Amino acid sequence: DGGITQSPKYLFRKEGQNVTLSCEQNLNHDAMYWYRQDPGQGLRLIYYSQIVNDFQKGDIAEGYSVSREKKESFPLTVTSAQKNPTAFYLCASSIDRGGPYEQYFGPGTRLTVT
Partner 1 sequence: AQSVTQPDIHITVSEGASLELRCNYSYGATPYLFWYVQSPGQGLQLLLKYFSGDTLVQGIKGFEAEFKRSQSSFNLRKPSVHWSDAAEYFCAASLLVGADGLTFGKGTHLIIQP
Contacts to partner 1 by CB under 8 A? 4, 6, 31, 33, 40-43, 45, 48, 56, 58, 88, 90, 92, 94, 96-108, 110
Q: Cα(89)–Cα(63) distance, rounded to whole angstroms?
A: 14
Residue among 35 and 113 whose Cβ is closer to partner 1: 35
For partner 1, the closer of residues 71 and 80 by Cβ is 71
Q: Smallest distance, Å, CB 66 to partner 1? A: 14
Least Å distance, CB 80 to partner 1, is 26
Nearer to partner 1, 19 or 90 (CB): 90
The Cα 24–Cα 107 span in angstroms is 11
Q: Mark 20-54 as b/e (b = at least 16 C-beta within 10 Å).
A: ebbbbbeeebbbbbbbbeeeeeeeebbbbbeeeee
C-beta of 9 vs 14, nearer to partner 1: 9
CB of 58 to partner 1, least distance (A): 7
> What's the CA gap between 13 and 83, in Å, rounded?
14
CB of 112 closer than 8 Å to CB of 10: yes
